[in-house]
Amino acid sequence: MNLYEKIKSNEESLSLVGLGYVGMPIAIEFAKRGVKVIGFDLNAAKIETYKSGNDPTHEVGDQAIKETTVEFTADETALRRAKFHIVAVPTPVNDDHTPNLSPVEGASRILGRNLTKGSIVAFESTVFPGVTEDICVPILEQESGLKCGVDFKIGYSPERINPGDKVHRLNTITKIVSGMDEETLENVAKVYEIIVDAGVHRAESIKVAEAAKVIENSQRDINIAFMNELSIIFNKMGIDTLAVLRAAGTKWNFLNFRPGLVGGHCIGVDPYYLTYKAEELGYHSQIILSGRRINDDMGKYVAEQVVKKLIAAELPVRGAKVGILGFTFKENCPDTRNTKIIDIVKELNEYGIYPLIADPSADANEAETLYGVKFCDISKIKDCDAVILAVAHTQFADLTMEQVASMFKAQENNKKVLADIKGLLDRRAYEDAGYSYWRL
């Protein structure tokens, strides 16, 4: 009986190392399908939150947390009772945009200390090709005293969870799987097929699977960078970018990308993993890094456009009252890590503007800890000179013109600066009403 069959029959358990936006939904789904699951995370406070039946990620909901059979724990020795281990920890970048592998290295050390013979370790963290075999395996071997390929096997299956997306879910997205040999590949594939109804794609090697992940998001990053560059050009021409994209989109093979701020843990990070490895091999990226530079500067660009609009409206810039709606890195998601809205805030600060920020969807404690930002209730966004609609949360998309008007000072509409970054509002309606309206 192979490991997959033992997991299916509950003779062996499966573990998740890292219970964030990726690991927690995976743990919940496996448990829902009848698998014995041990969910481990170093963050004891997070574990207590899950044990109390709360889902701070909003990915599966409180009810699913309350009903799950997952054994949530911050005790690493519990991992010794599992034989199939999934590592789902973040892989951020440093301030100089070089890969920060400390989370995945730390997870490998913890798992290595508690690894038993006959185990399979499947990494999900986004990395450049070679990290799993060249960096993680030696750590696992050193900490465990076991030999990879003899005492334990490894695989790689890149995460494809899209936080906040209620359509493309874990079980509906084809899963890439890989293994160090054919036997491992089959075990990894079969285990993931338990929860992925869309099926799996068996990659030719671990490095192929690692590469596939980093290029998925690099491709999106480059396409969004192109849209952002178009937005800058068309703004200078006095042409509405979204109107241009709607017209161009009538052609069957036009790619439907839009300009915007590129934050989060994937699109704005993964390209740096790929270009870092390319640099090691003596190749300096031309297209990928150019796209990154454009996207990294968009927060500053948005702030500059707001300041220009204030000047055009003959409003004082220093001390201007500005409200920002939304702070998370994407819509309908509480996660503020790697948000690009902070770039807007910092650039406005350079002009002596200290905006009020409202985001009912965001993790307020996280934002204050990471950025020193304190949110206010949306009702406090009033008497403003400018309002920046920054994130396309559902509750913001439903704002009426009357509600938007209530956020501004009682003055002529041509002195009301409205920056609609995501293009949520009816541009023509606000322009006809006389607002100083701008969007990417």
CA 371, 374, 378, 383 dihedral sign is: negative
Helices and strands, number each (H, E), in the chain:
18, 13
CATH number at residue 28: 3.40.50.720
Count how many domains the chain has. 3
The residues, ordered by sequence, that sit 6+ positions from 201 with a Cβ below 8 Å of its Cβ are: 174, 175, 176, 177
Same domain, 171 and 56: yes
425/420 Cα distance (integer angstroms): 7
The whole-number pLDDT of residue 28 equals 95
Cα–Cα distance for residue pair 389/400, rounded to 1 Å: 13
Give yes or no for residue 265 having a pLDDT over 80: no
Residue 148: its pLDDT value, please?
97
Same domain, 78 and 168: yes
Q: pLDDT by residue (tens digit) across 314-326? A: 999 999 999 999 9
Q: Which domain holds residue 317?
A: 298-440
Q: How confident is the model at residue 163 (pLDDT cuts 50, 70, 90)?
A: low
Q: Are residues 354 and 438 in the same domain?
A: yes
- Residue among 377, 380, 391 at smallest CA distance from 420: 391
Among 261, 296, 331, residue at a domain's last position? 296
Residues 227, 137 within the same domain: no
20 shares a domain with 168: yes
Q: Are residues 110 and 199 in the same domain?
A: yes
Q: Which of 266, 333, 376, 384 is catalytic?
A: 266
pLDDT at 221 over 70: yes
Catalytic residue status for 266: yes
Confidence of residue 162 (pLDDT cuts 50, 70, 90): low
pLDDT value of residue 114: 97
What contacts 24+ positions apart, CB below 8 Å, involve 227-230? Answer: 227/257, 227/258, 227/259, 227/260, 228/259, 228/260, 228/294, 228/295, 228/298, 228/440, 229/294, 230/259
147 and 232 both lie in a single domain: no
Q: Rounded to whole angstroms, how far apart are CA atoms 278 and 87?
A: 25
pLDDT tens digit sequence for 353-397? 999 999 999 999 999 999 999 999 999 999 999 999 999 999 898
Asked if 221 and 179 sit in the same domain, the reply is no
Residue 167's pLDDT is what?
62
Same structural domain, 254 and 302 = no
Q: Are residues 420 and 367 in the same domain?
A: yes
Indicate the residue among 239, 270, 296 that finishes a domain.
296
Same domain, 351 and 304: yes
Same domain, 88 and 170: yes
Q: Convert the pLDDT of each residue in 33-65 to its tens digit.
A: 999 999 999 999 999 999 999 988 888 889 999
Task: Tell me the average pLDDT across 9-31.
Answer: 94
Written as one string, the DSSP assignment of 137-181 is: HHHHHHHH---BTTTEEEEE------TT-SSS-GGGSPEEEEESS
pLDDT tens, position by position, 166-193: 666 777 889 999 999 999 999 999 999 9
Last residue of a domain, one of 274, 296, 318: 296
Say if residue 112's pLDDT is above 80: yes
Q: What is the pLDDT of residues 401-438, one digit of tens each?
A: 999 999 999 989 999 999 999 999 999 999 999 999 99
